Amino acid sequence: MADFKVIMEALLSHDNETRNNAEEQFNSLDVSLKFSHLISTLRMEGSSEEVKTVAAVLLRRVFLQLEYKDLIDGIDPTLLQSGRAELLMAVQQEGTSVAVRRKICDAVAELARSFIDDNDTNHWPEVLRFLFDCSSPEQPQLYECALHIISTVPGIFGNQMDYWIELIRQLLSQALQNPHKEVWTEAFKASTAYISFLDNTTIQQQFGELLPFLLTVLERSLELQEDDSLLKAMIELAERCPKLLRSQLDNIVELMLKVMGTTGVEDSWKQLSLEVIVTLAENAPAMMRKHTTKFLPKIVTQCLQFMLEVEDEPEWLVADDTSDDEDNSSNAIAGETSLDRLANSLSGKSLLPHIISNIPQMLQSADWHYRHAALMAISAIGEGCERQMSPILADVVGAVLPYCQDSHHRVRYAACNALGQMSNDFAPTIQKKFHDKIIPALLLVMEDFATPRVQTHGGAALVNFCEQCPKSILVTYLPAIVAKLDSVFKVRLQELLQKGTKLVLEQVVTTTATVADVVEEQFVEYYHLFMPSLKYIMANAGGKDYRLLRGKTIECISLIGLAVGPEKFMQDAQEVMQLLLSVQTLSQQGEMASDDPQISYMISAWARMCKIIGPGFVEYLPVVMGPLLQAAGIKPEIAIVDSPENQQNFSEDEGWEFITLADQQRFGIKTAGLDDKCTAMQMLVVYAKDLKNGFAEYAEPVAKIMVPHLRFYFHELVRAAAAEILPHLLECIKCKGTEAVKTLWGFIADKLLEAIELEPDAEIRAIMMDSLCKCIEFLGLNCFTAEQYSKVANLLKDSLEMCFTRAGERHVQRQDEDYDEQVEEELEEADEEDEETLKKVADVMHSLFLTHGSTLLPFFDQLLPIFTSMLADDRPPSHKQWALCVFDDLLEHASSSCHKYQSYFLDQMIKCVTSKHASVRQAAAYGIGVMAQFCSKDFSQACLDALPLLTLSIQAPDAKQDLHNINATENAVSAVSKICKFVDTGVTLDTVLPLWFSWLPITEDKEEAPHVYSYLCDLIESNNLLILGPDNSNLPRIVSIIAEVCVEDALMDGEQVLLRLLSIARHVQATGDSVWNACLQRLNEKQRTCLLTALS
């Protein structure tokens, strides 16, 4: 113990070496020794406050690393028993300061957490009794301790919560009403933490009676303005249990608005108060729309009021580096981001009227702050109000444009900001409708040489506009845009050489790159204006201050090269490659910092060079791949955040971001290098996809990096790239032989299946399932082991059952008291999300049937009940559609054995031919078609039964009303074609063929068109009188059908069926001018031109 005392004292030393040596000594101790000595230190009367504080902190760290099993196995039971008792006595020890007691409570809380096993049993019952023993109004310090422990570990009661719940409620209620500030403060935190922890809404409601007390305590805290942790706890409660607050919603919003509007309140408190309202809006939008409509004008006004608080600092105007420009702690930014979030959560229908009632007057104000705030508000609300603003977009654009030439530079900047943001939010409508107004306005802004910040922002807005502008539109402005970019480029390049300023030049380089990327080969004639200067910058702009300029120049050169194509770019390709290699060498020699922006630009540029050069790029891979693999393999700093206090140790200003995973565990991740990592992984996909065999040597090392990242939950795009590359890696390594493919797939398969099962994001899950499909189709029969086939079956079953469960939850939500049309829109989006999952399940089944045929049937039998259940009359259309698609694949790819399944699907398939839902009709019609084509021997009567229903579907009034109906109708026409062609008996062709002929042409469904037109060719080539008509009277109609096929590109160039159709047209042409001219007269000009072009 004496030696340990020395270690403890050394840990407090101001000398780094002494302290580091002490830490090493402490870390080398056995856990039992740490446990006993630290608790003894806490209990020792002679220990100083500093030593006790360190002991308590170290003890908590020890417990943080231990789970229940570690405690039982690592510490002697007797020592553990006595140590726990001593620790609780240390909390109660007289003379202990408040600060030390709190640290000891943190250790108690962590030890209690460690004593909760996987079954949620707390194996330290004494601590629960301790909590209630301490909860006495007569001993406020201990009362505070008990509450602090509960707030730190709200799950401390484990699976005994139901037993204790009434006592807990009483404890919290009494504590909130306690006269001591320390007690009611800690009671607020404990109450919000405990209620947030409860995952049962019904149980949460039992604590609703605490809300008036909570609000009283919060109001007291706001009056004192000493501790903002209560406001933060309120935000947490609003996020986790928003509907619990319904009964006090008016009081909460009024209180928050009061704080925001009170002079003298600190900005941070005002922002937290606004955050309470916004958090409620995001987590219970329907409730807020329904119950707080009367407050919306005040909330919007307060946000706009915040946005007025912008200072016109001289430094802003002359800054040449804007990376640290935005003060995220300012009221202006808080107001702007809150408006954005409110618009997205409450919807434009609720919010836009209150914006519109404020903006016009603000724009007319003589005070530039108001004009600036109004324009920034327009920028903020576009995404959330897109539907409501679209009809008045002309008015909005018209209102913003004049301010591009406002007398105040900040307002001009805000106008550019609004146009740039709207170019994203309303694309491509805004580009198509207002290009003639916005492009000239932004080009005029780019003449503002006196105000570099505004000139730069004009260039940035032009980037946003051009990125989603149709090429055909942008090309018409290309001479004017290029002339402006060229003039600004030359002036600012000279300025760089003379003064070293670079802000505008950086932007012009980016804008030039964007324009080239959109107009592609049309940029060829302007290539000479930019490439020499870009190469000069790349070769000569050295030094740390020019890293971003150099990186953007690298990006611009590679995008221009990709746009103009190899033929034009190859004259400079060798020089550019050498410049890239010189930058790469600096990176490999460690002369570039890890945060150097050039690295990211370089990674993307190499991939573009690969696309330009093609297979010849393989020789550069040894240089490129080292840094690329290094960037892809970056391991970001990750921390477990176990409490709000702990989260405060990780500042967002230092690059920390926070996420909560499915098990409610909260993590912090330091984002430095994360974007580079993501870019690198996306570029690896490009190399594997484009170089194929040339990438074979890297397939295995790349797989070793990518496969583990299938479960990298800190970045969706990283997981997406990891999934997307897998089938390409298999294709790359194919040249090494089947054993190499087998080994690589052995490394991938299980991990991919596990990743799909655990993936929390629906879009990424879809990408992973798409990758699985491609792998199956590449590998073919027996691509899985028996165990893996079972995993795939379970995966598909779980995916379907998850969709069914979510559909049931949405049904309940539609009965909710706050249900409204905005909720319905959100539920419909969720419906679409589940439809995508159903589609991916059907896609996997398609890939399996395609590659396995009838051998898949034992696997299919495991899923048959669930697919059959999806055809029930009470199921949603999407369930029927995708179940029918699976049975379609059964008919098409397991035709020899599918007859034994007809009782499961046949009646419903025939019935669905006339479904009122186009997607269901299409799936059913396709199934009847493949049934006729591949299984007519076993299903001839079914085909005959379906024929009149197909006719009804085709002739329905809305059969060609929209694209969905057209596709369903054309599938039905194709099904009739196949029945006529493949069903030997029972079809009355004299009746059916004239009808079928009248339904032509079909032009939308490119997969079914070849079947239909192949049958038409068969009939014409066999001189079928029903098609040719008496005395070939139907020839003009036949020629018009062929012409429409050419107009609509219904068949691919060179496709055999198209050649047969054109041969028939030539045959008609050869019969004589009179017949041919009569046919041409039936055609419109477009049909005539396309047909004659095809024939020539």
pLDDT tens for 873-913 read 999 999 999 999 999 999 999 999 999 999 999 999 999 99
> Among 985, 982, 984, 952, which residue's Cα sits nearest to residue 969?
952
Query: At residue 517, does pLDDT exceed 50?
Result: yes
Give the max Cα distance, the chain.
119
**pLDDT classification of 2: cutoffs 50, 70, 90:** low
Lowest mean pLDDT among 126-135, 233-242, 417-426, 640-649: 640-649
- And the tokens for 638? 């990750």
Separation in Å, CA 486 to CA 471, 512, 526, 552: 20, 9, 10, 16
Average pLDDT over the chain, rounded to an integer:
91
375: amino acid identity, one letter? L
Percentages helix, strand, coil for the chain (3-state, rounded to 5) are 80, 0, 20
607/721 Cα distance (integer angstroms): 14
pLDDT digits (tens, 9 = 90+) for 22-68: 888 888 888 888 888 888 888 887 778 888 888 888 888 888 877 77
Question: Does residue 640 carry a pLDDT above 70?
Answer: no
How many angstroms separate the CA atoms of 798 and 953, rounded? 35
Q: The whole model's pTM is what?
A: 0.84
**What one-character DSSP code corresponds to residue 157?**
T
In this predicted structure, what is the pLDDT of residue 472?
Answer: 95
Question: CA 464, CA 466: separation in Å to the nearest integer?
Answer: 6
Task: Inform me whether the pLDDT recorded for 1003 exceeds 90.
Answer: yes
The mean per-residue pLDDT over the stretch 388-400 comes to 96
Q: Virtual CA dihedral for 572, 577, 580, 584, nearest 10 degrees?
A: -170
- Express as a percent the part of the chain with pLDDT over 90: 71
> How far is the C-alpha of 706 from the C-alpha of 722, rounded, in Å?
5
Which residue(s) pair with 116 in the sheet? 122
The pLDDT assigned to 1096 comes to 85
Taking residues 529-534, report their average pLDDT: 96
% of residues, the chain, pLDDT over 70: 96
Whether 988 and 945 have beta carbons less than 8 Å apart is answered as: no
> 214 pLDDT exceeds 90?
yes
Residue type, 930: V
Judged against a pLDDT cut of 60, whether residue 359 lies above it is answered with yes
Q: Residue 3 pLDDT > 80, yes or no?
A: no
From the list 639, 642, 657, 665, the residue with the least C-alpha distance to 760 is 665
Rounded Cα–Cα distance for residues 270 and 260 (Å):
5
Tokens representing residue 1043 in the block: 């012409």
* Exposed e or buried b per residue across 412-429, where buried means at least 16 C-beta atoms within 10 angstroms of its C-beta: bbbbbbbbbbbbebbeee
Out of 2-16, 251-265, 370-384, least confident range: 2-16
Question: For residue 662, what pLDDT is reported?
Answer: 47
Helix (H) / strand (E) containing 659: strand 656-660
Please report, for the chain, how many H helices and E strands are present, in that order. Answer: 57, 3
**Would you state the pLDDT for residue 651?**
55
User: How confident is residue 202, by pLDDT bands cut at 50, 70 and 90?
Assistant: confident
Task: Read off the pLDDT of each residue in 768-775 and give the average, rounded to a whole number.
Answer: 98
Asked if residue 652 has pLDDT above 70, the reply is: no
Q: Which of 71-85, 771-785, 1004-1018 has the lowest mean pLDDT?
A: 71-85
What CA–CA distance (Å, rounded) separates 1015 from 999? Answer: 14
Report the first-to-last Cα separation within the chain, whole angstroms: 101
Cα(905)–Cα(984) distance, integer angstroms: 23
**pLDDT the model gives residue 666:** 62
Q: Is 440 helix (H, G, I), strand (E, B) or coil?
A: helix
SS (HEC) of 4-22:
HHHHHHHHCCCCHHHHHHH
Residue with tokens 């240390």: 90
Edge-to-edge strand ranges of the sheet holding 666-670: 638-641, 666-670, 656-660
pLDDT above 80 for 302: yes
Q: In which element (H, E) is residue 297 found? A: helix 296-307
Pairwise CA distance, residues 429 & 591, whole Å: 46
Evaluate the omega torsion of the peptide bond into residue 1001 and state whether it is cis, within 30 degrees of 0: yes
Question: What is the structure's pLDDT at 659?
Answer: 65
- Residue 925 CB: number of other CB atoms within 10 A? 32
- 964-975 mean pLDDT: 95
Separation between Cα atoms, residue 741 and residue 736, nearest integer Å: 8
**pLDDT at residue 649 greater than cutoff 60:** no
Residue 642 has pLDDT above 70, yes or no: no
* Mean pLDDT on 62-82: 81
The pLDDT of residue 931 is above 90: yes
Reply yes or no on whether the pLDDT at 326 is more than 70. no
Structure tokens at 78: 């007797």
Band (pLDDT 50/70/90 cuts) for residue 669 is: confident
Average pLDDT over residues 675-698: 94
Do residues 878 and 838 touch, judged by C-beta distance below 8 A? yes
Q: Which are the contacts of 429, defined by CB distance < 8 A and separation ≥ 6?
A: 390, 393
Q: Measuring CA to CA, which residue among 310, 267, 295 is closest to residue 408? A: 310
Q: What is the DSSP letter of 468?
A: T
Residue 752 has pLDDT above 70, yes or no: yes
CA-CA distance, 32 to 26, in Å (whole number)?
A: 12
Q: What is the DSSP string of 637-675?
A: -EEEE-SHHHHTTS-GGGTEEEEE-TTS-EEEEE-TTHH
Rounded to 10 degrees, the C-alpha dihedral 36/40/42/43 comes to 140
Distances, alpha carbon 949 to alpha carbons 269, 492, 910, in Å: 68, 71, 8
pLDDT tens-digit readout, 583-597: 877 666 666 777 788
State the residue for tokens 């398609």: 846
One DSSP character per residue, 535-589 reads HHHHHH--SGGGHHHHHHHHHHHHHHHHHH-HHHHHHHHHHHHHHHHHHHHHHHT
659: phi then psi, degrees, rounded to nearest 5: -135, 155
Question: Is residue 663 scored above 50 in pLDDT?
Answer: no
**947-969 confidence digits (pLDDT tens):** 999 999 999 998 888 888 999 99
